[in-house]
Amino acid sequence: MASGSDDEDLQRAIDMSLAQERPAQCSDAVDRADSSYDEDLRRAIAMSMDEINPGQTSGDRKASPTSSIIRGEEFSSSEGYASKTSSTSLAQLAQRTPGSPPLSGLLGLDRRAMEQERLARLGKRKRSTSPQHAIKMSTVASSSKTTTGEPLRSFHTTNHLRHSSQPQSTGIQYPNGVIKRTWAHKHPRSSNDITISEVFQAPTAAPNIAVLSSFQCDDRWVFSRLPPESTKQIWIMSAKGEDVQAKLLAEATDCRIPNFKLHFPPMEGNVSNMHSKLMLLFHDTYLRVVVPTANMIKTDWGETNADANGEAWQAGVMENSMFLIDLPRRHDGQVGKKEELTAFGKELLDFLEALKVGKNVTDGVLKFDFSASKNVEFVHSIPGRQTAQFSDHTGLPGLANAVRRLGLHDLRILELDYAASSLGAIKPAFLSQLYTSASGQTSQSPSSSEDFMSHIRIYFPTLSTVKESTGGPNCGGIITLARSFYEAPTFPKQCMRDYKSTRSGLLSHNKLLFARGRKKDGTPVAWCYVGSANLSEAAWGSRSLLKNGSWGKMNIRNWECGVIVPVPAGVLGKLELKDGEVPSMSVFEGTVEVPFVYPGEEYGRKVPWYYREHMPPE
C-alpha cells in the first residue's frame, strides 16, 4: 500500500492533470534522470485509468496506453481562438511525475469539444473528426495580434505569400552559425535574441519542409506559427511502446492534419526519453539547422497570454538558447556522400540514422553544403541498444572526440560552468567523467585532477530565486531536482550556484556548458555547448568502474543533441593572462551571451528549488 506521501503525490498529479492552466504557468515534461522515477511513472499510468474508467476497482484496473485524460484550457480570443480543450495523451502523462504542471496539447485535440462548438454554430447534429476548422480559426487574419505583436495570418494568406511570383531573397542569415537566446516579452530586444517566427522565417520565407524534434509540443501554437498547409512537417516525438505509438498515430490520422507526419525513434529497453531538440528547416536554396534548448511551447519562446485586446499583459517567464546555421544547397544539386561531410555533418547524419527518420530526410540533408560547419561540432546521445554501435562517439565519448577534433584538448587546467534546468542524482564519479570528457580525454581512466570538483560550478535556481521570478512558483515545474538527490551525501553541493538571469525575473530552461582552460603549452581555449542535455547520467551516459579497473559499457537513457561552438582563436590570442590563469567568462562576448550572473552566488544556507515540494497547490 502506498504511503501517505505517495497518496499526496498521487492526488496532486490527478488534480494537476485535470486543472485549468494558470496564465503564468509554464509547462514542460520532466527530464527523468534517475530510475527512482519509474514508480512515479507506474502510478501516473494507473491514476490516469481512475479518470477514464472510474467504475473499475483497483484490482480490475489495467494501464491501457491508449487512454487519455481530457482537460480544459481557456485562452483569450486575441490568440486566434476563443477556447480550446486539449487531450493529454498517456504518452505525455507517462513521462511525467507527480507535481508536474499541466501540459499543453500534443496532437490530442479534443474533437468532441470542437464538434460541440461546431454544432452550436451550425445547429446540426452531425459528427466530424477533422480539427482543420479549429486550426484555421487559430490563424485567421484579423485585427488581433499574437503576443509577439505580429498580426495573425490565415493559411490562405500564407499560401499566397509562399507561392507568389515575386522574387525571394536567398534567406541565408547565419552562414557560419550563431548562438542566440530566445526573445522574452517586455524585455528589451537585442541583436542576440530571436523569436520563433524569426527562426521559422514565417510567413514570407517559411520552409518547404520542417523536421521538428522536441520533448514537448503545443500543436496549436506550432501550427499558428508554421501552418502545415504551407509547410510539410515531420515531428519526431517520444512514445515508448507500440501501443502508445499506435494510439498517437491514430489520433494524428483522425485529425486529418495536412502535410503532417509523426515519427517515433527507437525506445526499447531502458530508454527513458526522446529529449532532443532539433529543427531541420528545408528551403529551396538552403537548409537551416537549429539546435535549441527550448521545447515547442510558447513559454519557452518568451511568449505569454494576452488580454481581450490582444495585448500581452505579462512579461516573459522563461529563457532558452539555440544554435542556428544556414547551409546552402550543393551547386550540383545532387545528393552528396556522407564521407564527404564535415564532422558536424557526419554526426548529424549518424543521429538522424539512429533516430530512423528515413532515407528521404537523410538524403535531403545530403543535398546541402556543410563546408561552413567545419569549425563547430554536433554532439549527440544515442540511448539503448543503439549505444553500442555508436559507443565511441556518442554521449561523453562523443563530447571528448568533438573537443579533440576542434583542437581544444591537451589541457593543463579547465574550468566548467554548467547551467541546467534539471539535475539528476549527480555523484563525483559522474562529474569526473564529465570533466575528463570536456578535457578531450578519450581514455577510460577517470579525471587525473584530484580536486576537479573545485573547477566545476553548477547553476540551478534556489527556492527564493524561483519565488521572486516573474512567473513565480507556477513556472517551477519546468525546473527539476528531487530533495532525495540533493540531500544524498554524494551530491556535490559545493559546486552549486544560484542561477539568476541577466534579464531580471526570467527563469531558465537553458542547458549550457561553458569551458575555459589553458593547454600545456599555455595556449588559452574556450568553448560553449548548447543543446538539450541536462546534467544527468541519463542525458550524457555513464560507465561503471569494474573490479578489474576497466570501465563497463556506456549506459545512456535519453536521446539528446547539442552543438559545441569554440571562441575564435583570434579573440583568445589577444588575451593577456598570467601563468595559471584561464580566460574569464567575458571571453564569450561575441560568441555567446552568457545569460546568467556569474560566478554565481554560492548556496550557503539557501535551498534549491524542489519542484515536487514547492509547486503551489491547485
Average the pLDDT over 39-66 and give the result: 34
Q: Could you tell me which residues come within 8 angstroms of residue 578 by beta carbon, excluding any fewer than 6 positions away?
A: none
Query: Does the annotation place 511 within a ligand binding site?
Result: yes
pLDDT at 304: 87
Beta strands in 385-543, from DSSP E residues, in sequence order = 411-419, 456-459, 496-497, 507-508, 512-519, 524-531
Higher-scoring residue by pLDDT: 461, 84: 461
Cβ atoms of residues 529 and 567 within 8 Å:
no
The neighbouring-strand residues paired with 281 are 210, 288
Residue 21's pLDDT is what? 38
pLDDT band of residue 308 (cuts 50, 70, 90) is low
Place of cell 535574441: 193
| Alpha-carbon torsion (484, 485, 487, 490), positive or negative | positive
Question: Stretch 202-218: mean pLDDT, rounded?
Answer: 94
With bands split at pLDDT 50, 70 and 90, how would you rate the model's confidence at 338? very high
pLDDT tens-digit series, residues 486-505: 999 999 999 999 999 999 99
Confidence tier at 87 by pLDDT (50, 70, 90): very low
Sole residue written with cell 490565415: 154
Q: Quote the DSSP letter at residue 374.
A: T
Specify the residue for cell string 538571469: 501
User: Residue 286 corresponds to which cell in the numbers above?
Assistant: 538552403
The residue with greater pLDDT, 119 or 445, is 445
SS3 71: strand
Is the pLDDT assigned to residue 448 strictly greater than 70? no
Q: What is the pLDDT of residue 169?
A: 59
* 427 vs 106: which has the higher pLDDT: 427
**Range(s) for CATH 3.30.870.10 in the chain?**
379-614
Which carries the bigger pLDDT value, residue 11 or residue 599?
599
Q: Is the pLDDT of residue 273 over 70?
A: yes
As given in the structure block, the three cell numbers for residue 306 are 494576452
CA-to-CA distance for 80 and 307, rounded, in angstroms?
12
To the nearest whole percent, how much of the chain has pLDDT over 70? 70
Residue 515 in this model has a pLDDT that exceeds 80: yes
The CATH number of the domain covering residues in 379-614: 3.30.870.10
- The C-alpha atoms of residue 439 and residue 517 are separated, in whole angstroms, by 9
What's residue 311's pLDDT? 72
Of 488, 467, 486, 489, nearest to 476 by C-alpha is 467
Quick check: 395 pLDDT over 60? yes
183-197, 296-310, 594-608: least confidently modelled range? 296-310
Look over the chain and give the mean of its residue pLDDT values, rounded to a whole number: 77
| Residues 113-156 pLDDT 10s | 434 444 454 454 333 322 222 222 222 222 234 434 443 333 23
Other Cβ atoms closer than 10 A to 386: 22
pLDDT tens column, 457-486:
999 999 999 999 999 998 888 899 999 999
Return the CATH number of 132-340, one of 3.40.50, 1.10.3470, 3.90.1690, 3.30.870: 3.30.870
Which pLDDT does position 309 carry in this prediction? 67
Say which residue, 270 or 326, is predicted with more confidence. Answer: 326
Share of the chain above pLDDT 90, in %: 59
CA separation for the pair 28, 471 (Å, rounded): 14
Please check the confidence at residue 233 and state whether its pLDDT lies above 70: yes
Q: 510 pLDDT band (50/70/90 cuts)?
A: very high
Local structure of residue 503 (DSSP, 8 states)? S
User: For residue 227, is pLDDT > 90?
Assistant: yes
Banded pLDDT at 91 (limits 50, 70, 90)? very low
Reported as a pLDDT band with limits 50, 70 and 90, residue 72 is very low
Cβ atoms < 10 Å from Cβ of 232: 16
Looking up cell 589577444 gives 574
Catalytic residue ranges: 275, 509
Which one-letter amino acid corresponds to residue 324? L
Identity of the residue numbered 71 = R
Say yes or no to pLDDT of 546 above 70: yes
Per DSSP, the residues of 445-477 read: S--S-TTGGGGEEEE--BHHHHHTSSSGGGGGG
Band (pLDDT 50/70/90 cuts) for residue 615 is confident
Residues 205 and 231: beta-carbon distance below 8 Å: no
pLDDT band for position 553 (50/70/90)? confident
Grid cell 516579452 — which residue? Answer: 185
pLDDT band (50, 70, 90) for residue 538? very high
Confidence of residue 509 (pLDDT cuts 50, 70, 90): very high
| Count of other CB atoms within 10 angstroms of residue 285 | 13
The three three-digit cell numbers of residue 412, written as one number: 593543463
- Contact (CB, 8 A) for 606 and 498: yes
What is the distance between the alpha carbons of residues 371 and 380, in angstroms, rounded to a whole number? Answer: 20
Asked if residue 445 has pLDDT above 70, the reply is no
Contact 410, 18 (CB under 8 A): no
- End-to-end C-alpha distance for the chain, whole angstroms: 25
Residue 393, amino acid? H
**Residue 513 confidence (pLDDT):** 98
The pLDDT value recorded for residue 547 is 78
The phi, psi pair for 201, rounded to 5°, reads 55, 40
